[in-house]
Amino acid sequence: MLQLFSILLNVISPIFILIGLAYVVGKRLAPDPRALSVFLIYVFVPALSFNGLRNADLRGGAILGFVAVAVGLVLMMILIGLAIGAWLGGTPQRRGALVMTLFMVNGANYGTPVNTFAYGTVGGELAVLYYVVNSILSNFLGVFFASRGGSVGQAIRNALSVPVGYAALLGGAVNLLSVEMPLFLSRGIDIMAQAAIPCMLALLGLQLSHMTLNRRGLGLVLLVSGVRLIGGALAALPLCALFGLQGVAFQVAMTQSAMPTAVMTNALATEFGSDVEFTSAVTLISTLLSVVTLSVLIALLL
């Protein structure tokens, strides 16, 4: 019990300080979250993704298994989301939003500090790599599902317009080719990348301050939140065994797979006209519930 309390206090609770402050600012001053979401989608998150692959050790054999788990989990959660959406029905926007809330994990602003606090510097570095892999898929597929209310062609065009995937691939190329970047450019990208996590935490607080929870939809929100938090960990377990992950790599993969719904889900829903109320509700509930679920999971993994 003492270990669980220590994890809750020192690993999980620091994340909520900025979220809480942004929530208060949102309630008192009512700033427009879309302005921040645009900077995240087109500036800060691409810089974070670029640095994540530029600085990662991409030549280690264990990295391939780690990446495979991240990719496999996205595909599994999409299939689960499509099945739940087909079972429940609803508008294309609602079904697209439901799928997004399951495969887009909060692996950057939440997952990176949590894994760093729990497993040390190596844990944080692996968490960033997991996030980058997830974000390449999530931002492309997330834009597609966020645009489900329009035509398929427009959804694909929207997905191709988001720079995060291109930035990550460019970072990987710079890494593998051992390109020496000019100092001024490297420092500029570092500044933008460092802004991504606090801005995503702030966006989460702002989104939550604007959200109203509809009790009639609370059951679905709880169901989806449970699938994201508990189902993600259960789905990751056989994937980790299949690809032979051990040690810190196993701990980080399991923890990242059990993260709540990503803040970027709300940014993409806002930008491309998806069901923002639903994504915000799942983000809120899954984030609050993760205080307990992640504390228990980390205690089991340590």
DSSP string, 260-282: -B-HHHHHHHHHHT--HHHHHHH
How many Å apart are CA 4 and CA 103, to the nearest integer? 27
Residues of the chain with confidence (pLDDT) below 70: 1-3, 58-62, 139, 147-159, 212-216, 273
Q: Which positions ≥6 away from 112 have C-beta within 8 Å?
A: 124, 127, 128, 131, 197
Token pair belonging to 96 = 């697209």
In this structure, the number of other CB atoms found within 10 A of the CB of residue 62 comes to 15
CB 261 within 8 A of CB 101: yes
Q: Is 126 helix (H, G, I), strand (E, B) or coil?
A: helix
Whose CA is closest to 5, among 300, 296, 229? 296
Q: Return the pLDDT at 158.
A: 62
Indicate the pTM of the whole model.
Answer: 0.80
Q: Return the pLDDT at 60.
A: 60
How many Å apart are CA 153 and CA 219, to the nearest integer? 33
Q: Write out pLDDT tens, residues 253-265.
A: 999 999 999 877 8
> What is the maximum span of the chain, computed from C-alpha positions, in angstroms?
56
Q: Return the pLDDT at 250.
A: 94
Q: Return the pLDDT at 298.
A: 92
Architecture of domain 42-301: Up-down Bundle (1.20)
Whose CA is closest to 258, among 219, 207, 218, 299? 299
Q: Return the pLDDT at 134.
A: 83
CB 50 within 8 A of CB 189: yes
Q: Return the pLDDT at 149.
A: 52
How many Å apart are CA 286 and CA 176, to the nearest integer? 37
Q: Write out pLDDT tens, residues 131-174.
A: 878 877 876 777 777 765 555 565 566 667 778 778 888 988 89
How many Å apart are CA 221 and CA 210, to the nearest integer? 17
CB 70 within 8 A of CB 107: no
Q: Return the pLDDT at 45.
A: 83
Q: Which positions ≥6 away from 58 have C-beta within 8 Å?
A: 172, 175, 176
Q: Return the pLDDT at 2.
A: 67
